[in-house]
Amino acid sequence: MADEKIEDKKDAKPEFDVSTLTGLQKTAFLLLSLKEEDAASILKSLQPKEVQYVGQA
């Protein structure tokens, strides 16, 4: 039984590969992982076009 779990983990594929994400996608993930107040303070420092790009990621 324990051997089955080890084999299952070995064969498991990640949901997604972070290295394939664009910079904008990584930024979007980061902002989504932050508290609302922290994300808002970062977004306030961006230009409107930059906020739009992140929102489309």
Per-residue pLDDT tens digits for 1-57 = 555 565 666 666 767 788 999 999 999 999 999 999 999 999 999 999 999 999 998
In the Cβ-directed half-sphere of 22, how many Cα atoms lie within 13 Å?
7
Q: Could you tell me the pTM of the whole model? A: 0.66
Q: How far apart are CA 19 and CA 11, in angstroms?
A: 20
Whole-number Å distance between alpha carbons of 48 and 2: 53
Could you tell me the residue ranges of all domains in the chain?
Answer: 20-57
First to last CA, the chain: 42
